[in-house]
Every structure is written in structure tokens, then in C-alpha cells.
Structure 1
Amino acid sequence: MENRILKMQSEVFKDKIFQSLLQTIEAQKGVAMLIGGAVIDSIQGSPLKDIDIEVYGLSYTQLVFLVKDLDLPCNLVGKSFGVIKTTIHNIEIDISVPRRENKIGIGHKGFEIELDEKMTPKQAGKRRDLTINSMYQNLHNGQIIDPYNGLKDLKAGIIQATDKDTFIEDPLRVLRIMQLLPRKGKQVAKETMALCQSMINTFTELPKERVFVEWEKLLLKANKPSVGLAFLKDSGWLIHFPELKNLINCPQNPVWHPEGDVWIHTNMVLDNAAKLRPLIPEDWKLAYMFGALLHDVGKPSTTTSDLKAYGHDTAGINISEQFLKRMTDDKKLIEKVTTIVGLHMRPAQLFSSKAKEPAWKRLHNKCRLDILGWQSKADSAGRTGKDVILDAHDASEKCFELFDKFGETRIQPLVLGRDLITLGIQPSEKFKTILEACYEKQLNGYNKEDIIKSIRSN
């Protein structure tokens, strides 16, 4: 075990209330340990995003009173797991006592929880998924407690199960490796890969919400999400995502796609999208990344013997919807992703055909042009020898130029119902037809005055 003193990175740790919390724990003969991903962030000097603290030597009841006595928020929603949720500096902190988890049933709820403040970090760490997540940092003196050699694995980039018997109790751990490997490691230990392969049939135990969270982390946090996809393929878990598995060995015309099959292309596009991700508006980031992942899922069902895939964009709409519905009920997200998939070819098609502005307006009304521009740019560079950052992409630049002109939202109609009433037209079933015709004229470049004149002349 290696002891190291680490500088506390988070402002939370310097807060007077937090220091009072530590002092009170210590005065009552307890020890507060930082656990989980925050320890890795602390070692690597990264900002701490999630703060989980495990307190040894004090019971759950003692901790509850302690937190309340300091006038800190005290949310007991995690009581059955020995967890107290509190907040300092607007950062949520989970404070817990050590626990044992005994598998007694199927699924993530099939565990018997036993709280035991007398456990050692080594005993408590046995239930954790990976060695790198089984490290502790003593918050009183900064020392690293490393009972399972997680620091060695972290330095070597090895993703390794903490304990083979407890690892297989929760199938979610396989998907955690999917999203952690590209972020925290370089390779999965051979024994751990074998464990993952042995757990393929346990996927059905997972609620779709838990599956979605791991995909979300992969797509929003990994710099090279393709590493996670490669893990799914190597572990055999890609079978649970057939829309992606079908991309393997789906051929493409080597003239346009020298990189290889649709699987290889998709991996390249996804990594390109991750490079562009900081430029995407927050409320579109996840949809954009899922769009990159799923943009060509229509190709296996539409690719012909002469390697053409006409209509793959349209075919991909329902396929991508099926993929997403198995892991989320978020209708807005699904709508955004399927829209991106269905329209991802349009910028290049409009640009190559030298389409006039009205056609671009109609496209913008279906999906904001900047999103389609970034998607098209990531897609275009998903080929051998292309650089998504350095290479110019004319169709994308046209999207950005017109987005600046059109704005973020759908182009608003110039002629409204009140304008028709002013012209003496009584509200009726024809109103909708007349307004739609007016809007079409507007998209074609007519101003409001000309549109009104055309109504009067009819």
C-alpha cells in the first residue's frame, strides 16, 4: 500500500463548515474518507465533480445528528444504503457509513444491505467495482489508502475488477467499464474481460434508466467514445445493442469510404463529434452525440450489392428510435436524435446542388442549422486522412452562415390570423390554408407587403 499526501483540490474542503464537519467527526473518533471517482480526480489534479465521503467509526444515526447539529441540509433519501445527502458551496455531498452488500435476488435491488461502521477500508472496498474506484483519501491528513493496488492500475491504465466474486453480482459494472475505459484507462485486465464475457446474459436484469446513465457518461465525458464501443464489441455485450452490432461488416464504397465498413466509420464520426462537443449548446449536446452514434444505423437495411445506401437516412429514423426507447422515455431527446439522423445528409445535398436560400430555410425549420452543420462536419471527416478540426467543410460553413442569419428558432411567420381579419377575411376552415400559403411565399423570399398584396388580388 502506498501512502501519499495530496493537496485538497476542491474549494469545498477549505470551507469553514466543511472543516467543522471534519473536526467534529474526528472529535467523535471517526475518520472521514473520500471515495470513488473523486479520489482519482484528486490524484490527477482534476476538479472534483462528485464528492462521496465514507465515515468510519461512527454509526449512521451519529452521522445524522452530526450533520443536523452543523445546520447542514440533511436528506435521508439514501437511508437504506447508509447515505446522507448534504450540500456545501452548492455542491452535493454524499456522506455514508461502510456497508456490506449480499446478493439475495435478481437485479440491482436484489441486495441485502448491512451497515457496519467498524469495517476496515479493505473490507468495505471489496464491494466496489474496480480497483481504481477502491482507493480512499483520508480527509484529515490527505493520505491515500489503497488496499487493492488501484493506484498502480491507474498509472498503468488498467481497468481491473476489485473482487471477481462481487464484480459479477451487478451487471451494470460492465457498462461502467464501457464509459470509464476511455476516460480513466487504456486496457481491461484479461481476467476482468473474461468476467464481463461471462455476464452477457445478465443484461436483462438492468433497468433501462441505469443503462441510459452509462451511455450518457460515455457520450458526454469521453474524449474517444469509440474506445467504449470497442470494449462492447470485445466483451460480447454489443449483442444487446443490435442496431450498432449490425454496422460491423456492413460494406461501403471504398471511393467514398476508404476507412472501411460502417462500424469503423461510425467510430470515427463519434470521436470527431466528441472533439466538436464543446461547441455544441448544452441542451443539444447529448442529442448531438447520440446522433453521431446512430446516424448511419439505416445502412445495413438499405445497402445494395453495388454499395449504394439510398434512403439510409430515412430508414435510420425508426431504427434509432427503437434503440433509444429501450433506454429512455425522454421524448424530447428522442425527437432531437431521430431528427438529426433523418436529416444528416441534407446539408451536403443542398450544398452540392447549389440550393437557394428557401430550401435552407425549410431545413432550418426542421432542425437548427448549426447542429446539422456540426453533425455534417463530424460525418464528413469520418474517413481516412481527414481532420475534423483542421479540414474545412463547405456544407457545414454554409449551415453556420445561414444559422447566424436565421437564428436559433423556427422562422416565424410574417402574416398572422389578425392580418387576415384586418383584410376582412372572416375566421373559417380556410384560415389555415391561407396562412400556410402565406408562409410558403415568405420562405420563398416574399416580404409581408407583397404577401398581403397577393391576398388582396385573390
Structure 2
Amino acid sequence: MKIELKKIIPNYEAFLPLLQLIEQNNGKAMLIGGAVIDGINKIEIKDVDIEVYGLGYEEICKLLEQLNLPSNVVGKAFGVLKTVIQDIEIDLSVPRRENKIGIGHKGFAVELDASMTPKEAGKRRDLTINSMYLNMHTEELVDPFNGLRDLQNGILRATDEKTFIEDPLRVLRIMQLLPRKGTIVEKETIILCQKMVEEFCELPAERVFAEWEKLLLKADKPSMGLLFMRDCGWLKHFPELNDLIGSPQNPIWHPEGDVWVHTCMVIDQAAKLRNQLPNNDWRLAYMFGALLHDVGKPSTTTPDLKAHGHDAAGVPIAENFMKRMTSNKSLIEKVITIVGLHMRPGQLFNSGAKEPAWKRLHNKCRLDVLGWQSKADSAGRTGRNVLNDRHETSEMCFELFQKFGEKEITPLVQGKDLIVLGLKPSKEFGIILAKCYELQLEGEKKEAILLKIENNTI
């Protein structure tokens, strides 16, 4: 199989001097990783990873010097160096062997060997679909482990049983790759993952977070990753989600089933909407919010299947979930705010609340974000499609967001206004300003509020 590189690599001609120099020095440049899959699917490549055969690490560095290309040797211990061609970042690496000698992702002895074949080097790769190579000189696909067949059949399969189990992060990689690159995980590979359950503790939080981030921001159907985690036994490490399984709901409102089923549906609906969010920070918070929005239900659901207060109860639970994998305070705050307020738009809409109540909610969280969350939550039921369904609560959120703006509503009356009225700064200022702000939210104009202060009727 041949793949025309000029059709998938931006500014491919700029790569030719490097490829020609590698070939002139008896080396061979092989495109590896997800870029090969993108090439097969005729998708433009964003990440260019090249494994160079027949040349040592220092030799590759010298070739870059000849071409006046920058080189970053930060990954020297793993035989990796970085360069840039036409604003495209490139990872160049030497084939290597990795032998497990300790725990964690750093517990490997690395041996560089430029004489290795792609088949030998490919054994250390996680899945067969990631063990394909593209010869950048001949544009021929090199597929020593039948990765193309598995890719075409949607199968995620461990490349090598022995090397696969050496890195527990590979289980989480399958979690996020399954909905993006496949449809099923091969049975023997699931068994391998089950055997690695207790090795989760070896993984640093930042690497766990990175895989969740990919699942939530890149997968069209994140529930596939969640179901895989359940099937391989790894969901036990995320008890906030594991507890949702079997947690009952009122079938009148939730005919789809328990809280777990509902959450899986909501997260898939949210994925269809995430690009509506203003930026990546909010998109990720939104997706984590959708994932965790009902984690308070197991502890609040009564025998008659009511779960009053589950939104507030879910806040500390969601916070614990997030803190175990990230120290990003801004993200955590956004997520728990969404979880704690996800019921509020529906409550305000159904009660016919006036604008002041919506303004108070807007001051706690952007109404557009809560609108998208409410829309995904509502569509997380059997037979619903968030792209087609009209959701009046969300429409109200969007309408008022346009009216109120992005930021919290600015107080009309400030301390300097009180001083102009002759009041002296004191502890009472805060109380007075808070009352002024409440009047403002109720619709009072600044002049009327100041008049009440003057008349001492506030």
C-alpha cells in the first residue's frame, strides 16, 4: 500500500532535504504513530514522528546541523530529538529497546540500536494499529503486525503480550483511543488489561489526566471508553463513576436506566456540543462537568427514587475526583461549579423565575455554559438527539446570556458613590453596597438606589 506524503503533510517539499540527506547517509526515515493512521485515512498530519533506521543519535544531530535546522535534545535518554521545519514540530528518534526494571513510567532501561528492524522495534509499541510504519522514501506502508487489517476492522489489539503489560498507562490509552480509532478491543487484550488492574498506582496523576483529557476533548463517543474501563475492571480506580452503576432512577424521568447509563448518554451528547463552548478551558470543564454531573445521586437517592440535593452533594465528590489527577484550580473550580448548578436552569425555567434570579445564577457561572450542560443532560435519554431536540430551558439561558454578557454583572453603586453622598468609609460600606447590588439585580436604576441611600430607606 502506498500513501502520497505530499497529500497529507503540509509543506511536504520542505521535508525533502532532510529525507534526502538521511538516505544519502544510508539511513531510512519511517513515519510512525498516529500519523500513519491519519495518512491511511487521508487526514492531514499534525504530529510528525519519524523513526530513523541505520543512523545513530549523534549522526542525526549532525545532519540537522548541516541543514541549519534547530535541534532540541531534551529526549536524548530515549533517543529522541526535536526539530522544526516550516513551523511544523518534528520528533526524530532512534529505534530502541525498553526493559522494565522498576515501577512507573520511568522504570525502564532504554537501549538505542540503529540496526534494529521495524518489526523488532515495533514490539515495544502498544497496539498493532500503532505499530505500522510508512517508509518516507518509497511511501510504502510497512505493517509487520497486521495493523492495517485491525484498523480496517476497528480492532484494538496488543502488539506484543510481554511488552504490553510492562506499562499500565496503555490501559488508559485504549480508553481514549477506542472511540477515536476503533470499535472493539480484542478479547485477549482485555484480559491483559484486567491483569494490570493493581498497577494503576504506578501512574503519575498528570499522565492519567492527559488520557482523560484526550477522551473528553477528542472522542465523538466517549462512553465507549467508559464502558471499556468498566469491562476491564479499571473503573474501580474511579469510584465516583463506579458507584453510578446500578444506582436507580425514576423510570418516568429516566426510562434509559440507572445513573451510569444516563451518564454515558449525557457524555456522548455533550461531545456533540463541546465545540459550542468558548475555548478549550471551558470545553474541558464542560465535558468533565457532564461526566460528573450526577455523582451525588448514589448518596442522595431515596427508596421512592428521588434524589433531592444531588447537585450540591455532588460538589465534594466531583472535587475529589478532579484533585486526584490535576492541580489546575481554575479547571476544578469550573467543573464543580457546573456540577453544583446543573439543575438550577431547569428549576428557574419551570418556576417561571424573573430576570433577577437568572442574573444571580449568571453571576455564579456563565449562562451559556449552563445552557449547553442542561441541553446535554436533557438529551441523555433513550431516543433523544441533542442536535435536533429543542430545549426551552437552554434557549432561555442562551437568550439571557446574550443580554447579560460574558462577565458578572458589574455593580452600579460603588464605594466612591457613597463617599460622594457624604458617608464615611466604615464596616457598614460592605453591607450597604450588598443591598445596593440586590436592588440593582431587582431592576432598580442607579439614581433610584442612590436616592434611597440619601433618604436612609435602603
CA distance in 1, matches of 2:123, 2:9: 30
Match of 2:326 in 1: 328
Match of 2:212? 215
Any conservation in 2 of the 1:84–1:94 contact (CA below 8 Å)?
yes
1:27 matched to 2:9? The reply is no
1:195 aligns with 2:192: yes
Tell me, in whole angstroms, the C-alpha distance in 2 between the residues paired with 1:378 and 1:299. 18
327, 339, 342: which is aligned to 1:341? 339
Partner Cα separation in structure 2 for residue 254 and residue 33 of structure 1: 55
Distance 1:398 1:5 in 2: 50
**Shift of residue 13 of structure 1?**
4.8
Amino acid at match of 1:423: L
Q: Distance in 2 between matches of 1:391 and 1:342?
A: 24
* 1:406 matched residue in structure 2: 404
Q: Give 2:20's aligned amino acid.
A: Q
Secondary structure in structure 2 of the residue aligned to 1:8 = helix
- Alignment partner, residue 423 of structure 2: 425
Specify the code of the residue in structure 1 equivalent to 2:404.
F
Residue 67 (str. 1) matches residue 64 (str. 2): yes
Once the two structures are TM-superposed, the CA of residue 7 in structure 1 deviates from its matched residue by 4.2
Q: How far apart, in 2, do the equivalents of 1:115 and 1:243 lie?
A: 42
Counterpart selection for 1:227 from 215, 224, 228: 224
* Other-structure match for 1:106: 103
- Which aligned pairs between 1:161-176 and structure 2 lie closer than 5 A? 161-176=158-173
For the Cα contact (< 8 Å) 1:13–1:19, is it kept in 2? no
Query: Bigger shift: 422-431 or 5-14?
Result: 5-14
What secondary structure does 1:431 align onto? helix
Mean CA deviation greater in 265-274 or 67-76: 67-76
Distance 2:408 2:7 in 1: 44
Partner of 1:79: 76
Distance 1:356 1:47 in 2: 50
Q: CA deviation at 1:210?
A: 0.5
Q: In the alignment, which residue of structure 2 is the partner of 1:37? A: 34
Matched, 1:91 2:112: no
Whole-angstrom CA distance in 2 between matches of 1:206 and 1:162? 21
Contact 1:6 1:143 in 2 (8 A): no
Residue identity in the other structure for 2:152: K
Q: What is the letter of the counterpart of residue 7 of structure 2?
A: Q
1:186 aligns with 2:183: yes
1:14-413 to 2 correspondence within 5 Å?
14-16=12-14, 18-282=15-279, 283-413=281-411
Distance 2:330 2:138 in 1: 47
Equivalents in 1 of 2:55, 2:90: separation in Å?
Answer: 17
Deviation at 1:28, TM superposition (A): 1.1
Partner Cα distance (1:31, 1:449) in 2: 77
Aligned residues: 455
> Equivalents in 1 of 2:102, 2:9: separation in Å?
41
Classify the secondary structure of the residue corresponding to 1:118. coil
Shift, 1:425, TM fit: 1.8
- Indicate the percent of aligned positions where both proteins have the same amino acid: 68
Amino acid at match of 2:373: Q
Distance 2:139 2:76 in 1: 28
Contact in 2 for aligned 1:30/1:55 (Cα 8 Å): yes
Cα distance between partner residues in 1 of 2:7 and 2:304: 58
Contact 2:3 2:40 in 1 (8 A): no
Give distance in 1, aligned partners of 2:85 and 2:353. Answer: 55
Question: What secondary structure does 2:444 align onto?
Answer: coil
Partner secondary structure for residue 446 of structure 1? coil
Take 2:10 and 2:150, find their aligned partners in 1: how far apart are those partners? 28
Instruction: Confirm or deny: 8 A CA contact 1:225 1:274 kept in the other structure.
Output: yes
Counterpart-to-counterpart distance in 2, 1:233 and 1:142: 40
Which string of whole-angstrom CA distances, capped at 9 and with x for unpartnered residues, describes residues 152-175 of structure 1? 000000000000000000000000
Which structure 2 segments of 5+ residues have no match? none
Per mean C-alpha deviation after superposition, the further-off stretch among 352-361 and 87-96 is 87-96
| Letter of the structure 2 residue corresponding to residue 338 of structure 1 | I
Question: Any idea what SS the aligned residue of 2:98 has?
Answer: strand
Spell out structure 1 runs of 4+ moving beyond 3 A.
Answer: 5-13
**One-letter amino acid of the counterpart of residue 381, structure 1:** A
In structure 2, how many angstroms separate the alpha carbons of the residues matched to 1:53 and 1:41?
14
SS of the residue corresponding to residue 7 of structure 2 reads: coil
The letter of the residue matching 2:28 is V
| Cα RMSD, aligned residues only | 1.1
Q: Which moved more, 1:196-205 or 1:412-421?
A: 412-421
Deviation at 1:347, TM superposition (A): 0.4
Q: Normalising by structure 1, what TM-score?
A: 0.98
| Offset, 1:93 | 1.3
Look up the equivalent residue of 2:317 and give its one-letter code.
Answer: I
Unpaired segments ≥5 residues, structure 1: none
Q: Secondary structure at the match of 2:52?
A: strand
Instruction: Give the drift of 1:357.
Output: 0.1
